[in-house]
Amino acid sequence: MSEVKKRTTIGGQALIEGILMRGPGKTAIVVRKPDGEMEEKIEKVGTGSHSAFWKLPFFRGMAGLWDSMKYGISALEYSASFIEDDDDYEPSRFEKWLERKVGSKKLESIMMTFALALGIAMPIGLFILLPTVVAGFFTFAKSNILKNAFEGILRIIIFLGFVIITSMQKDVHRTYMYHGAEHKTIFCYEKGLPLTVENVRKQSRFHPRCGTSFLFVVIIISTLITSLFTWKNVLTRLVIRLLLVPVIVGVSYEINRFVGRHDNLLSKILTFPGLFLQRFTTVEPDDSMIEVAIRSIEAVIPETEGEDRW
């Protein structure tokens, strides 16, 4: 099997029967509709759309996370729109009233804003704040070092439990198959091979620059950074954790970029936990899913050679 010839900044996200790909200049969503045909949506907004300030080290991590949430939630909504509606579904009186008052377009915008806020708040609350609250109920740890260590262990346990439990749900199994197709297609592109189903099928579904790996780095870095601060009560600790979120994201992103650019013992150690988690969040895809992944990545490959180099 050929070696990786380049590392690309093109990244993707598995959707409901589809894949989102983001290149330096374009974002593409490709969905397999119930009739078997592929639907494609391309926007001229890519990973390189931010101003120079938000491309600086540390700050680019925060911009990247925001983009991932913003475009990811929008893409999920788009892919879900192709699911065949239940003809027996009747909107509630509240839904009808809300649509009359604000209008369908404005209502859609409000719901997207709410979904984005929820998408940001949930991981922060679940993986950063919840361990702090739970740890606050245990007073057996007298020193700050032990308290921080206990909180860090809780954070890792909650994260691993969340990933493993969701991987066991039948409803998300096909989404994880599309996740595998996304990884395999990016690997094929990075190796300089023609983007065919046969070539993609041979690639590994475990990719070191996956968002799952990044999330695990965030969990570890948050544990290390927050351990530097002492705490008197849970409320103070929660405020500190919230204020440190941008710092944690920025540092984690830079570590992820460093690891992605190198292939040595240190990078292998740092990527191992994320690659292990991908055993739960990726599944071998079928050929129809690979076709979706190929079409989505072809839509965002830049015309200028090297523009998407990592």
Q: How much is the mean pLDDT over the chain?
A: 83
DSSP string computed for 115-177: HHHHHHHHHHIIIIIHHHHHHHT-----SHHHHHHHHHHHHHHHHHHHHHHHHT-GGGHHHHH
Domain-located, residue 308: no
Residue 258 pLDDT level (bands cut at 50, 70, 90):
confident
Domain-located, residue 303: no
Give the H or E element holding residue 12: strand 11-15
32 versus 260: the higher-pLDDT residue is 32
Cα 295 from Cα 37, distance rounded (Å): 12
Which amino acid does the sequence have at 154? L
pLDDT tens figures, 27-43: 999 999 999 999 999 99
- pLDDT reported for residue 86: 47
- pLDDT reported for residue 261: 80
Radius of gyration of the chain (CA): 21
Domain-located, residue 73: yes
Domain-located, residue 259: yes
- pLDDT reported for residue 231: 66
66 versus 86: the higher-pLDDT residue is 66
- pLDDT reported for residue 92: 58
* Percent of the chain clearing pLDDT 70 (strictly above): 84
Domain-located, residue 5: no
130 versus 1: the higher-pLDDT residue is 130
Domain-located, residue 309: no
Does 10 score more than 90 pLDDT? yes
Domain-located, residue 258: yes
DSSP string computed for 241-293: HHHHHHHHHHHHHHHHHHHHH--SHHHHHHHHHHHHHHHHH--PPPHHHHHHH
Find the domain containing 225 and state its range: 11-83+92-298
Does 55 score more than 70 pLDDT? yes
Q: Which residues contact 11 (CB under 8 A, 6 or more apart)?
A: 21, 22, 47, 186, 209, 211
Domain-located, residue 265: yes
Does 87 score more than 80 pLDDT? no
Does 233 score more than 80 pLDDT? no
- pLDDT reported for residue 114: 59
Mean pLDDT check: name the lowest of 114-123, 154-163, 165-174: 114-123
Cα 152 from Cα 5, distance rounded (Å): 38
- pLDDT reported for residue 227: 78
Half-sphere exposure of 289 (CA within 13 A, CB side): 26
Question: How many structural domains compose the chain?
Answer: 1
Does 109 score more than 70 pLDDT? no
Task: Please compute the mean of the pLDDT values over residues 157-181 and round it to a whole number.
Answer: 87
